[in-house]
């Protein structure tokens, strides 16, 4: 059976290597293996749930995220790429689904809980932010997605989607909505550590390498990477675990034998940080150059990118409209049909 795949990103900046490893690569693979109907959403409405006062950040990021998609090889001929806010059926579905979800259930969502902490919302949580998991249920069910490839932090959203779909079908006695399965990133590729070695690569921690970074920027970041703080002289034995250079070599270097040799040498002593950083720099430059060049080529005609998003949004809207119609039929509120 054909799989229907839906996923997306909040546009709050450009995409970095963490996105590349954790999701973009996987999406390109799913696209190119065929037999999958793919939808990728730029979730600007969800981004606005915690950026209401800085809409320009979200608005400007829409085209940047689209450029990142095109740069890594997502192909609008095969994958429908669209903008969430251009699909009016999504908030309408959200409104109906909200009646099937309790406030207590929303309060238990662990991802939302930790985001509330991170963002320091405390007692002043925007209501729109609080209920965004339900809007995400609409994103997924509107396309009858059978599979949602996302990071493990999104697991609670997929669980909630399954609950709502099940509850809806049971309540209204019709098999309208689909309970999707999650597709997690390959083992070890879920969360790429940032160049500072402190935590997951993220925009807010300012520890990222971006797909749009210039060759110089990449080199600077690699040369400043966290390694082994106790590896002071070249001849000292060094530690490979927790050493970001080796973490990245494991992820990005296809020459596994070479990586093993470097690890052995580093552990034994006699291999300096500058050498391993120069080597990693070469590996990353080779990976990122074609992506950056494609990105620059697409960036020359941003109007064409916006036209692609418009065409994708029109296509997506047709699908969502069909589902909404079925939902309203099931609920018995298609009065004038
Ligand atoms: N919540 C996702 C994120 O923070 C973005 C997103 C919105 C999404 N709607 C979606 C992901 C639907 C998968 C499916 O990155």
Residue closest via CA to ligand 1's atom 8 equals: 8
The pLDDT value given to residue 268: 95
The pLDDT value given to residue 129: 95
The pLDDT value given to residue 269: 94
Question: How confident is the model over 51-86, as pLDDT tens digits?
Answer: 999 999 999 999 999 999 999 999 999 999 999 999
Model confidence at 185: pLDDT above 80: yes
Q: In what order do the strands lie in the sheet with 79-83?
A: 79-83, 36-42, 3-9, 147-149, 181-183
Percent of the chain at pLDDT > 70 equals 100
How much distance in Å is there from the Cα of 302 to the middle of ligand 1? 24
The pLDDT value given to residue 123: 79
Cα–Cα dist 246/82, whole Å: 37
Pocket probe mutation, ligand 1, options 140, 154, 156, 183, max atoms within 8 Å of Cβ: 154
Give the sign of the dihedral formed by CA 16, CA 18, CA 20, CA 22.
Answer: negative
Question: How confident is the model over 26-49, as pLDDT tens digits?
Answer: 999 999 998 999 999 999 999 999
The pLDDT value given to residue 304: 98
Question: How confident is the model over 107-120, as pLDDT tens digits?
Answer: 999 999 998 988 88
Question: How confident is the model over 306-327, as pLDDT tens digits?
Answer: 999 999 999 999 999 999 999 9
Residue closest via CA to ligand 1's atom 9 equals: 136
Indicate the average pLDDT of the chain.
95
- How many whole angstroms from its chain centre is CA 188? 16
**Is 46 close to ligand 1, i.e. is its CB under 6 Å away?**
yes
The pLDDT value given to residue 186: 81
Closest ligand 1 atom number to CA of residue 136? 9
How much distance in Å is there from the Cα of 9 to the middle of ligand 1? 5
Closest ligand 1 atom number to CA of residue 145? 14
**Is 140 close to ligand 1, i.e. is its CB under 6 Å away?**
yes
The pLDDT value given to residue 119: 86
Cα–Cα dist 292/129, whole Å: 34
On the 0-12 / 13-18 / 19+ scale of CB atoms within 10 A, 256 is: exposed
The pLDDT value given to residue 301: 97
Spatial CA neighbour of 312 closest among 57, 81, 23: 81
Model confidence at 204: pLDDT above 90: no
Grade residue 190 by pLDDT with cuts at 50, 70 and 90: confident
DSSP line for 273-335: HHHHHHHHHHHHHHHHHHHHHHHHHHHTTHHHHHHHHHHHHHHHHHHHHHHHHHHHHHHT--T
Question: How confident is the model over 77-102, as pLDDT tens digits?
Answer: 999 999 999 999 999 999 999 999 99
Mean pLDDT of 240-264: 96
The pLDDT value given to residue 187: 77
Give the sign of the dihedral formed by CA 302, CA 304, CA 306, CA 309.
Answer: negative
Domains of the chain: 3-191+301-331 (3.40.50.620), 215-297 (1.10.240.10)
The three-class DSSP label of residue 83 is strand
How much distance in Å is there from the Cα of 243 to the middle of ligand 1? 31
Give the sign of the dihedral formed by CA 67, CA 71, CA 77, CA 81.
Answer: negative
């Amino acid at each position: 059976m054909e799989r229907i795949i839906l996923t997306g990103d909040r546009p709050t900046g450009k995409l970095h290597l963490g996105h590349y490893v954790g999701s973009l690569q996987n999406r390109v693979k799913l696209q190119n293996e065929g037999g999958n109907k793919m939808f990728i959403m730029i979730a600007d409405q969800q981004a606005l749930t915690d950026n209401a006062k800085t809409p320009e950040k979200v608005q400007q990021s829409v085209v940047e995220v689209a450029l990142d998609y095109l740069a890594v090889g997502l192909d609008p001929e095969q994958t429908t790429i669209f903008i969430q806010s251009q699909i009016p059926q999504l908030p309408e579905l959200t409104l109906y689904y909200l009646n099937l979800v309790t406030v207590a259930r929303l309060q238990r969502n662990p991802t939302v809980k930790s985001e509330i902490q991170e963002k320091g919302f405390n007692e002043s949580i925007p209501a729109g932010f609080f209920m965004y998991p339900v809007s995400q249920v609409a994103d997924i069910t509107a396309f009858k997605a059978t599979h949602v490839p996302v990071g493990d932090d999104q697991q609670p959203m997929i669980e909630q989607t399954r609950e709502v779909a099940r509850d809806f079908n049971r309540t209204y006695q019709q098999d309208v909505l689909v309970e999707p399965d999650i597709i997690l990133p390959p083992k070890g590729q879920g969360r790429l550590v940032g160049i500072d070695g402190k935590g997951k690569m993220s925009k807010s921690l300012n520890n990222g390498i971006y797909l749009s970074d210039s060759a110089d920027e990449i080199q600077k970041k690699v040369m400043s990477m966290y390694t082994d703080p106790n590896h002071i002289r070249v001849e000292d034995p060094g530690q490979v675990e927790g050493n970001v250079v080796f973490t990245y070599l494991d992820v990005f270097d296809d020459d596994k034998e070479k990586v093993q040799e470097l690890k052995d040498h580093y552990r034994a002593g006699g291999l300096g940080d500058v050498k391993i950083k120069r080597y990693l720099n070469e590996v990353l430059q080779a990976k990122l150059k074609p992506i950056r060049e494609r990105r620059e080529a697409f960036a020359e005609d941003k109007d064409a990118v916006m036209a692609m998003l418009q065409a994708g949004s029109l296509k997506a809207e047709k699908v969502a409209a069909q589902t909404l119609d079925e939902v309203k039929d099931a609920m018995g509120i298609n009065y004038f049909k």
